[in-house]
Amino acid sequence: MKKLFFLSVILLLSTSCKAQEITQTSENKIIKNSKPKLVIGIVVDQMRYDYLIRFYNKYSKGGLKRLMNNGYNLKNTHLNYSSTKTAVGHTSIYTGTTPNNHGILANDWYDKPSKKWINCVGDERYNTIGSPSINGKKSPHRNQVTTIGDQLHIAQNMQGKVIGISLKDRGSILPAGHSANAAYWYDGDDIGNWISSSYYMKELPKWVQNFNEAKKVDEYLSKTWSTYYDISTYTESAPDLNNYEQKLKGKSTATFPYDLPKLRALNGNYNLIRETPFGNSLTVDFAIEAIKNENLGKSEFTDLLAVSFSSTDYMGHGFGVSSKEIEDAYIRLDKDLERLLLFLDTQVGKNNYTLFLTADHGATEVPKYLADRSIPARYIDKQKLRNDIKQIAKEYFGTDNLIEHISNNTIYLNKEEIKNLKLNLTSVQEIIANELINHKYIYKVVTAKTLQTTNFTTGFMNLVQNSYNQKLSGDIVFVYKPLSITNYYENQGGTTHGTGYNYNTHVPLLFYGNGITKGETFQYYPIIDIAPTISALLNIEFPNGNTGKVIEEVLE
């Protein structure tokens, strides 16, 4: 009896071990519940969460509504760090950790050892592939940890393909990771090609060359951009004619329609596509060609395609949160997503792919727009603030050389000058911080010493600490008052992002497809939970710097 009992237990355990591979259908047929053949990560640059709600009635059933209603909708997802910049967002999503670990501090930052301004993906060791420009001298080398794609490659003995696509180099390179098969981005000006770097390849694949030669971008730039629906129905936005938006060169007002053939010569020629919704359409065109020609989702191994839609960010900066242009951009993006999903259904198969959609950051409402409605908001003269900071240092320490650099709301002190003056670094940090907090536009200040010795587990300072990298960051970090941006936008119109306030951190997060359950939640989840969740779905090791957790409720 005991032997029979133990044999039964062994058989039961053996059956349980195969539970992930075998499921019983209602018709009592045994089918395989395999991993997805293709994972598609979609990042919509500068997409606030409320765009899902504000424009919901304008969306089609097959685009964002399909993902929201048939996938899993996480309604309270936030970036859990304060440096809400494009490069940081894309890196954090795919590595499952924050800048204090992955080392991408911003899009560009001050490098302490070299005392130079550096780009997040700039790398002079490599050359442009597909263009005579220098815009391909890039690589992911500044990211210090692995991505989902890297771990997928390792788990499959470097089989399967990982590809990144975005109009922006950083939106393509950083998500794809170190071991990517390819990353492609758009080279504008007078070129209008998709390009890459010699980091990945010696020459563009034939299908990319053919795509560039077809010059699909010219089709988009040969039309007039008018609203997709009658502009009178765009009641979710401010009036088209207002004082809050940047004007394209050649237009006296930032209003519809936009005669693109007429405007392109004055607005960077092929660069103009970025400032229109058609930049996203071009991205989908290119992504579809990549899926077809690279046979993504067709092998025994899982592939990963990272797609970032950048035009929403360019347009958000120029036109602002409440513009008709932004509403039209999301209506058209929804159509492009529907087109991509229908293609995936037929090319890869409805149950053969898993997709997530999120954003790298949100956006600040245009301060003028808010101030005109009695909501406290302001512009800050960045140069005057820098001068004020330098003046504090001069008054206390009698030198003009104590402040080495100021950028990304961070002060870098001159260590050689501090040594020459026989000053104490911690004391200098504290004195400047204590004075700076009295500035009328500054809301919070914290020193590097405090960030290194104090553990902020919650609140705004936790976000600041997650953005602070001991090896790479500066000596003092300061935070503007809420709803503050620099005076560049006061003079030009439009808006920006980059702080830890809710309007910059709250982003959509939708999971859909193979292995994903249907549902929604208002529970808080940080953006870094995406990577371990996808890794768990694929049954692979988490990225090596991961600090996120698996969102178990989204997985079947």
Q: Is 338 helix (H, G, I), strand (E, B) or coil?
A: helix
DSSP string for residues in 481-527? PTTEEEHHHHHH------SSSHHHHEE-EEEEETTB--EEEEEEEEG
Q: Is 266 helix (H, G, I), strand (E, B) or coil?
A: helix
The neighbour count for residue 252, using CB atoms within 10 Å, is 6
Residues 353 and 345: their CA atoms lie apart, in Å, by 9
Residues 255 and 5: their CA atoms lie apart, in Å, by 78
| C-alpha atoms less than 13 angstroms from C-alpha of 99 in its C-beta half-sphere | 29
Host H or E run for residue 83: none
DSSP string for residues in 287-302? HHHHHHHTTTT-SSS-
What does the block give as tokens for 449?
């010493």
Those residues whose C-beta lies under 8 Å from the C-beta of residue 273, and which sit 6 or more positions away, are 167, 186, 188, 192, 217, 220, 221, 279, 282, 311
Tell me which residue has tokens 């004391």. 427
DSSP string for residues in 151-210? HHHHHTTT-S-EEEEESSHHHHHHHH-TT-SEEEEEETTTT-EEEEETTT-SS--HHHHH
Q: For residues 494-516, b (16+ Cβ closer than 10 Å) or e, as one string?
A: bbbbbbbbebbbbbbbbbbbbbb
- For residue 239, cis peptide bond before it (omega within 30 degrees of 0): no
Q: Are the beta carbons of 173 and 91 closer than 8 angstroms?
A: no
Beta-sheet pairing, 72-78 with 224-225 = unpaired
Rg (CA), the chain: 25
Those residues whose C-beta lies under 8 Å from the C-beta of residue 430, and which sit 6 or more positions away, are 447, 449
Q: Which of 84, 86, 97, 499 is catalytic?
A: 86
Residues 334 and 262: their CA atoms lie apart, in Å, by 27
457 is catalytic: no
Handedness of CA 245, 248, 254, 255 (dihedral sign): negative
Tell me which residue has tokens 């049954």. 539
Neighbouring-strand partners of residue 138: 122
- Single-letter amino acid, residue 110: Y
Neighbouring-strand partners of residue 411: 406, 476
Beta-sheet pairing, 519-526 with 72-78 = parallel
Query: Among candidates 142, 151, 143, 140, which has minimal Cα distance to 183?
Result: 140
Catalytic residue annotation = 86
